[in-house]
Chains A and B, each alone.
Chain A
Amino acid sequence: MSAQEERQEKPAKEPRGLLSSWRFIGVLFVGILVYAYAWQSTEIDLRRLVVDAPDIVHIVTQIVQPDVLTRDKEYQEVLTNFQLPCTDSPPEQMAASESEPYLVLSHTCGAPGEPLSVEGFNLRPNTRGTVRWIPPEGTTRSLAHFDSDGEGHFVEGISIPSVVESEELHQIQTELRWEVGLPYPSETARVVFDKMLETIMLALMATTLGVFVAVPLSFLAARNLMSVSRGTMVIYFVIRGIFNIVRSIEPLIWAVVFAVWVGIGPFAGVLALGMHSIAALGKLYSEQVESIDTGPIEAVTATGANVLQTIIYAVVPQIVPPYLAFTIYRWDINVRMSTIIGMVGGGGVGFLLIQWVNLLRYKQAGVAVWAITVVVWVMDFVSGVVREKIV
């Protein structure tokens, strides 16, 4: 029979324009309802994206200037006295000097709110400094920032802060700060490095745990091996079922469970990621066993090889490279997961990150964010290259 004849025999389609258009309108109506509800329940508010943008700019600028490197700092402090309120005998100005730094005030006594000019001489040239008010009791206040000129001179007008009046003298301080020496890794960078190492090791241990449990289980979860009898099929379904249930629970939830069980820390993270790895690797491994080519097994058996030799020469070469590839991929995933698992008590760099974010220390948080980005990128790249080599 030719193709043409065959085509003619097919019954012509009934015209259902009306029915399908009614159906289309119904689907459209339901779709609109669903999306309207979704829009409302997810509290979408596009206005805020624009209005609140300045908030995030502040955070982002700090994150892009992470506290990675630091230099040693030196200070120059000069103090002079001020009386508040005025009495008959206000304190004297500092003695002028040829080389020693000193401050001159426009007046040495006054009341809160009055303007006051502070002038400095013989300070460190071209350096940034701060004017502070140190009351005899209570906290010091920063009043102004200034930059000394090429001769170490500055003039800065301030207004006397509303501090508690007292008989004892107040002090006005200038502090100049500058950096010396070569930059070196900051305390933050060192802590992040330590925790990043812990994160990678955490992922390594979790992957190892996953491999050791998943390899033997993968054979029990391979249909082609387990279809021998009814009993083995029961084992197959049980293990497959466990894999599916364990895999469907997110590592973050496992981390919460294990943090309660063994306490907050990297061990909880190892168990959480390990648990998920067992299920994920077990499934991938067993699928690899299922797709094994039986031809080589037949051929090697036919040469008079024993069972052990047949496994080593015909089965192992077929499953080891994909097993390795899956394992490296899993480690890669585990490194990525372990960077956030710390947020729920699973140890690693995520713990630092969430801590700094909560303390609004975004420069430090920035270091953690950058470290995670770099490590994840490197792992991704390395695992890709290695996998390509193996398979």
Chain B
Amino acid sequence: MLEVENLTKIYDGGTVAVKDLSFTVKDGEFLVIIGLSGSGKSTLLRCINRLIEPTEGRIIWDGVDITQLSGEELRKVRRHIGMIFQQFNLVKRSSVLTNVLSGRLGYVNPWRSAIGRFPKEDVEQALGCLDRVGILDQAYKRADELSGGQQQRVGIARALMQEPTLILADEPVASLDPATSHSILRYIEDLNRDEGVTVLCSLHFLSLARAYASRIIALKDGEMVFEGLPAEIDDARFKEIYGEEAIQVEIR
């Protein structure tokens, strides 16, 4: 279980990105966070694995306060939290396989990995992960030779290598076309359903959120404006979240 308590993040410039957020995510949930650009979705997700330092509040995961951890302990927690990014964040010049293997860095001997050596099991596991997302034949290509959808699948394979119990997905399909978006979200959905991985996923489009979420929270200017089931978001709620002038765009 993940508990976020009174989380606030104020950036150096004084921008309040997240304001006094509190919510709970049960194990095995597919929680979608919606909201406009700049509503604090990315900041929230990055506070959970401490890529961004929260200004105030606590994040408790399975009884451990992540905000109090440092060094080795923090890395031990991070390696169980997979993360998927809008821009895929692959090392473009490295091979697909190396990118996937980097998901294993929290587990392996740092000195061996420093000279690029990974245990044989890890290499096999990496190929297995690539097979699972359907791009095993691309393993030895450079990451930037792949299409956007394929690159995001590499991103998922990298997260899979961590054997995660929680996945943070920051706008995983915002750079992709609608058809590819669905295929990527289905991989995440499979992980959630078949292996019970808890998912926190931010999305732009309400239609995508409705299709995949087990629960939705909506942010506006860093504050929570909605929490509930996908079906509960009606036109009135929608305008509340996205503003009066917004029009719903369907992605099928």
Q: Is B83's CB within 8 Å of the partner chain A?
A: yes
Chain A residues 281 to 326 lying within 8 A of chain B, measured CB to CB, are 293, 295-296, 298-306, 308-309, 312-314, 317-318, 321
- B83–A302 contact, CB under 8 A? yes
Q: Smallest CB–CB gap between B15 and chain A, Å? A: 18
Q: Which of A302, A304, A312, A317 contacts B93 (CB 8 A)?
A: A317
Q: Whose C-beta in chain B lies nearest to the C-beta of A304?
A: B106
Contacts of A306 in B (CB 8 A): 75, 105, 110
Q: Smallest CB–CB gap between A325 and chain B, Å? A: 12
Q: Smallest CB–CB gap between B113 and chain A, Å? A: 6
- B51–A302 contact, CB under 8 A? yes
Q: Whose C-beta in chain B lies nearest to the C-beta of A310?
A: B105
Contacts of A299 in B (CB 8 A): 83, 85, 89-90, 102, 155, 158
- B79–A301 contact, CB under 8 A? no
Q: Smallest CB–CB gap between A298 and chain B, Å? A: 6
Contacts of A298 in B (CB 8 A): 51, 85, 89
Q: Which of B76, B82, B92, B102 contacts A300 (CB 8 A)?
A: B102
Q: Smallest CB–CB gap between B98 and chain A, Å? A: 8
**Which of A298, A300, A305, A318 has the most chain B CB atoms closer than 10 A to its own CB?**
A305
Q: Which label, helix, strand, loop or mixed, suits the secondary structure of the A interface?
A: helix
Q: Is B81's CB within 8 Å of the partner chain A?
A: yes
Q: How far is the CA of A295 from the CA of B92 in the complex (A)?
A: 10
Q: Smallest CB–CB gap between A327 and chain B, Å? A: 16
- A317–B110 contact, CB under 8 A? no
Q: Which of B76, B90, B116 contacts A304 (CB 8 A)?
A: B76
Q: How far is the CA of A362 from the CA of B81 in the complex (A)?
A: 74
Q: Which residues of B contact A (CB under 8 A)?
A: 49, 51, 75-83, 85, 87-94, 98, 102-107, 110, 113-114, 116, 155, 158, 161-162, 168
Give 9 closest A-B pairs by Cβ, nearest first.
A304-B106, A304-B79, A295-B89, A305-B105, A299-B89, A304-B78, A302-B83, A304-B75, A296-B91
Q: Which residues of A contact B (CB under 8 A)?
A: 293, 295-296, 298-306, 308-309, 312-314, 317-318, 321
Sample of 6 A–B contacts (CB below 8 Å): A293-B92, A299-B158, A302-B83, A302-B168, A303-B106, A305-B106
11 additional A-B residue pairs with CB within 8 Å, beyond A300-B102, A309-B114: A298-B85, A299-B155, A303-B78, A304-B79, A304-B106, A304-B107, A305-B102, A309-B105, A313-B94, A313-B105, A317-B93
